Structure 1
Amino acid sequence: MLDRYARQLIDTPLNAIGRQIASMGGTANGVTLAGLALGLVAAALIAFGATGWGLVFLLLSRIADGLDGAVARATEKTDFGGYLDIACDFLFYGAIPFAFVVMDPSANAIAGAFLLLSFYFNGSSFLGFAILAEKHDIETTAQGQKSLYYSNGLLEGTETIGFFVLLCLFPLYFAPLAWIFGTLCFATAILRIYGAQKTFTD
């Protein structure tokens, strides 16, 4: 819901930095993998209870996630690059809730499982919509220039990062926050399926 507004704020500085990285020989895929590595370090720190440091690496990871597209626009966008980016994103999005479960399984396991279930459902609705959009030659740049169709929704990347920040700042409230956010993920997926029915039903 907030991604299109966030893009208006961050695209210009990210594109400038992306051009600098490209001029020094950096590649979009390299930045994508660096972002994933930072995200997995964040997850490991959270799992050991260092949520403050985890938050630092989490934010660095998401900056890298924004920069890989900027580097691609400054060099060459590829289908594999888009594929790698979304695969790494999904691993990151699953790793952070899992880390909170590892940190305190007795308090967080059930809520964490529900949250991951909601991510699975929401992610499949997102990717399925993108496949159908490609088949029907439907395009959008509302969330920036992407290698696949990014359908909007109640919860998008900006909201998810904000949620992860809240978890790091208030780890003792993981369970109630996970139940709330997971429910909203289910609502997002259901609304996306409804939108797909309206868009792709012949």
Structure 2
Amino acid sequence: MLDGQMRRLIDPPLNRVGRWLAARGVTADGVTLAGLALGLLAAGCLALGLSGFVALVPLLASRIADGLDGAVARATQKTDFGGYLDIVCDFLFYGAVPLAFALRDPANAPAASFLLTSFYVNGTSFLGYAVLAEKRGMTTSNRGEKSLYFTAGLLEGSETIAFFVLLCVWPAGFVPLAWGFGALCFVTALARVLLARREFAR
């Protein structure tokens, strides 16, 4: 829901840093993998029961890297593989956080499982829509320059990052937060399915 507005704010500084990194030989795929490593480090901190504030630093750094990889690609050369690698790493990171809380405390497992299921369904609705949009030659730049077609939704990347930050700040609230966010993910997926039915049923 907020991604379109956020991109207008963050893209200009990200593009400047991306050009600076590209001029020094940094690759977009390298930034993507560095972002994944930082995200998994944050998840590991959470799984080990460390303070959420310890996990917050690598988590935020990983999301900055997730924005920078596209900026570096725009400053050099965008590739289909780069976009593919980016989305795979994003989904691995998204799944690692609920898993971390399940490992942190087995009592979190039901809520973590529900959250993971909602991510799975929401991700499928997003990627399936992108495939059909590509097949029909649809394009959009409302979420910035992307390798895939990004549909609007109630919950997008900005809201997910804010949710993960909240989990780091208040790890004891994981169970109610996970049930609530997971329910909103299902609402987002349902809305996207209805949109797909309207766009692609003909």
Into which bin does the TM-score normalised by the smaller protein fall?
over 0.9
SS at match of 1:60: helix
Please list, as runs of the form range in 1=range in 2, the aligned pairs for 1:9-48 lying within 5 A after superposition.
9-48=9-48
- 2:54 is aligned to 53
SS at match of 1:138: coil
In the TM superposition, residue 133 of structure 1 has moved relative to its aligned partner by 0.2
Structure 1 distance, partners of 2:29, 2:142, is 23
SS at match of 2:140: coil
In the TM superposition, residue 171 of structure 1 has moved relative to its aligned partner by 0.6
In the TM superposition, residue 101 of structure 1 has moved relative to its aligned partner by 1.1
- 2:95 is aligned to 94
- 2:192 is aligned to 192
Structure 2 residues not aligned, in runs of 5+: none
In the TM superposition, residue 104 of structure 1 has moved relative to its aligned partner by 1.0
- What one-letter code is carried by the residue in structure 1 that aligns with 2:183? T
Structure 1 distance, partners of 2:49, 2:6, is 30
Structure 1 distance, partners of 2:28, 2:171, is 33
- 1:142 is aligned to 142
Superposition RMSD in Å: 0.5
Please list, as runs of the form range in 1=range in 2, the aligned pairs for 1:163-182 lying within 5 A after superposition.
163-182=163-182
- What one-letter code is carried by the residue in structure 1 that aligns with 2:129? F
- 1:83 is aligned to 84
In the TM superposition, residue 97 of structure 1 has moved relative to its aligned partner by 1.1
1:123 matched to 2:120? The reply is no
- 2:74 is aligned to 73
In the TM superposition, residue 53 of structure 1 has moved relative to its aligned partner by 1.1
In the TM superposition, residue 150 of structure 1 has moved relative to its aligned partner by 0.6
1:159 matched to 2:159? The reply is yes
SS at match of 1:146: coil
Structure-2-length-normalised TM-score? 0.99
Task: Give CA deviations for 1:145-180 in whole Å, capped at 9, x if unaligned.
Answer: 000101110000000000001111111110000000
Structure 1 residues not aligned, in runs of 5+: none
Size of the aligned set, in residue pairs, is: 201
Which region of structure 1 is more displaced relative to structure 2, 96-105 or 178-187?
96-105
Structure 2 distance, partners of 1:97, 1:86, is 18
- 1:4 is aligned to 4
- What one-letter code is carried by the residue in structure 2 that aligns with 1:131? V
SS at match of 2:155: coil
In the TM superposition, residue 8 of structure 1 has moved relative to its aligned partner by 0.9
Structure 2 distance, partners of 1:102, 1:162, is 22
Task: Give CA deviations for 1:4-34 in whole Å, capped at 9, x if unaligned.
Answer: 0110110000000000000000000000000
Structure 2 distance, partners of 1:145, 1:180, is 31
Structure 1 distance, partners of 2:68, 2:161, is 16
Structure-1-length-normalised TM-score? 0.99
Structure 2 distance, partners of 1:133, 1:190, is 17
Structure 1 distance, partners of 2:183, 2:195, is 18
